[in-house]
Structure 1
Amino acid sequence: MERWVGKVAIVTGASAGIGAAVVEALAKQGLIVAGFARRKERVEELAKKLQGAKGKLYAVKVDVSKEKEVIEGFNWVKKNLGPVHILINNAGIIRNNTLIDGNSQQWEEVLVTNVFGLCVVTREAIKSMKENNVDGHIIHINSRSGHRVPNIPNINVYPASKHAVTALAETLRHEITRNNLKIKITSISPGYTETEIIEAAGLPKNNYKDIPAIKAEDVAEGVLYALGTPPHVQVGEVTLFAVGDKS
């Protein structure tokens, strides 16, 4: 991780859960971290707790589903922090919905945030990396649901959105190679993780009562592992889930 000390990392969905764990881990490793989130005040609170860290966390109000806000966020980083070296695409949502008689607006919210937003943020990060000749690293926080569909009620378009993330990571890898860019792309796919996402979605906690969970900090450790590999090593996929998880 020494080569990343003092470099700029952007983490989306930084206000809670996996995003908050990742920004904390990166700041402690000495990185300059821009935490993108709709709830900027929560990132600011976390930044106060990290004042003694080796690095520094900055809160930036960005809703990744809004392209204008993403571009403004990257412009702020460019003017105030410098070139982007690392992007952690963590922002993601799920809604308590179905396919049979579902709410189409909620389908759209999930797909726009989890797929479209990820694409826009990735495009802007690579633009910065190319302009500054940075050998960067992009990490998509995916899901085990991006590789198989769990039999859990009311998750509707969420697995499809995460299968899209799996495909987008591979497609991006091909594009990066064709353009001779020295940018790594890693997909990290956690299983059920103790975060606020289920509660925020309005999904019954009872649906998950028999599934053992990992912690957000476990996923952050996976991020550090991928970032800590030598420049010539490409970590394509990391899958994390709790021992005993049969979902």
Structure 2
Amino acid sequence: MNRWEGRVALVTGASYGIGAAICRQLVEQGMTVVGAARSYNKVQALADELKGQKGSLTAIQCDISKDEDIRAMFSTIKQKFGGVDVCINNAGLDSNSALMDGDPSKWRAMLDVNVIGLSHCTREALVSMKERNVDDGQILHISSVAGHLVVAPYLVSAMYSASKHAVKALTEGLRQELRQAKSKIRVASISPAATETGFFGAQRNLSEEAATKKYTSMGFKCLEAKDIADSVLHVLSAPPHVQVTDVVVWPTEQNV
């Protein structure tokens, strides 16, 4: 990770769970981290907690579903830090809206974050890298095993799975575009299975107690947010001639 010291990483969905864990790890490794989320105060609280570490965390309020927010965010990053060297697209949500009788507005809201927002942030990050002749940058999507198979609808919606299948295609599509352009910028996705974060409860308006009970009732030890942050470090630590593109992380005891 030495070559990333002092360089700039953007992490979306940074207010809790996997996003917050990634911010913590990168700051500890000496990176200049920008944590973006709708909940600015939560990211700022984490930034305050991490003061004195090797790197730093700067909070930015941003709704990834809004084009103008994304443009403003990258403009701020350019003014403050010059640009982005690593873009970690972690922000995501589930519509919890079935295909049989679901709400199309909820589907669109989810796709605007999970697919369009992710792609927009990726594009802006690549523009930032190109402007500064950065040819060793990293694009990294935090996806889901739901992008590799369709899981039971009581866990995540079918439309959520569709959005994560799109992320898998976007990862490989960008890899091919970058190779065609003779760029050494790398792209990867990390797909966690059952992970104990605030995501499940937040998407279903569950209390923290009810969400915790759901995790413990699974009958096996779930992944923790730090486990996924460790996988991010694995991807970033790969030597220049190695491109890790697709990481799937399962709890040891989980079946499907």
TM-score class, shorter-chain normalisation, is over 0.9
Q: Aligned to 1:96, what secondary structure does the other structure show?
A: coil
Q: Aligned to 1:10, what secondary structure does the other structure show?
A: strand
Aligned position for 1:28: 28
Aligned position for 1:241: 250
Does the CA-based 8 Å contact 1:13-1:36 persist in structure 2? yes
Aligned position for 1:8: 8
The one of 211, 218, 222 equivalent to 1:210 is 218
Does the CA-based 8 Å contact 2:150-2:158 persist in structure 1? no
Aligned position for 2:121: 121
Per-residue deviation at 1:203?
Answer: 6.8
Structure 2: segments with no counterpart, 5+ residues: none
Structure 1: segments with no counterpart, 5+ residues: none
Q: Aligned to 1:233, what secondary structure does the other structure show?
A: coil
Deviations 1:158-198 (Å, cap 9, x if unpaired)?
00000000000000001111111110001101001111111
Q: Distance in 2 between matches of 1:52 and 1:237?
A: 34
Does the CA-based 8 Å contact 1:152-1:207 persist in structure 2? no
Does the CA-based 8 Å contact 1:95-1:202 persist in structure 2? no
Aligned position for 1:57: 57
Q: Distance in 1 between matches of 2:55 and 2:169?
A: 33
Does the CA-based 8 Å contact 1:93-1:110 persist in structure 2? yes
The answer to whether residue 233 in structure 2 is matched with residue 224 in structure 1 is: yes
Letter in 2 for 1:148: L
The answer to whether residue 170 in structure 2 is matched with residue 168 in structure 1 is: yes
Which range moved further: 224-233 or 196-205?
196-205
Per-residue deviation at 1:83?
Answer: 2.3
Seen in structure 2, the aligned counterparts of structure 1 residues 232 and 19 have a Cα distance that, compared at 3 Å, is: same
Letter in 2 for 1:235: V
Aligned position for 1:38: 38
Q: Distance in 2 between matches of 1:196 and 1:239?
A: 20
Q: Distance in 2 between matches of 1:95 and 1:78?
A: 33
Aligned position for 1:80: 80
Per-residue deviation at 1:34?
Answer: 0.5
Does the CA-based 8 Å contact 1:211-1:246 persist in structure 2? no
Q: Distance in 2 between matches of 1:55 and 1:99?
A: 44
Per-residue deviation at 1:207?
Answer: 6.7
Seen in structure 2, the aligned counterparts of structure 1 residues 203 and 61 have a Cα distance that, compared at 3 Å, is: closer
Deviations 1:69-127 (Å, cap 9, x if unpaired)?
00110010000012211010000001322111111111111111100000000000000
Q: Aligned to 2:187, what secondary structure does the other structure show?
A: strand
Per-residue deviation at 1:156?
Answer: 2.9
TM-score by length of 1: 0.96
Does the CA-based 8 Å contact 1:192-1:211 persist in structure 2? no
Letter in 2 for 1:152: P
Q: Distance in 1 between matches of 2:15 and 2:223?
A: 19
Q: Distance in 2 between matches of 1:157 and 1:175?
A: 26
Letter in 2 for 1:230: P
Seen in structure 2, the aligned counterparts of structure 1 residues 143 and 211 have a Cα distance that, compared at 3 Å, is: farther
User: Structure 1 vs Structure 2: percent identity of aligned residues?
Assistant: 45
The answer to whether residue 140 in structure 2 is matched with residue 132 in structure 1 is: no
Per-residue deviation at 1:241?
Answer: 1.3
Aligned position for 1:195: 197
Aligned position for 2:161: 159
Does the CA-based 8 Å contact 1:65-1:112 persist in structure 2? yes
Q: Distance in 2 between matches of 1:50 and 1:26?
A: 11
Does the CA-based 8 Å contact 2:9-2:31 persist in structure 1? yes
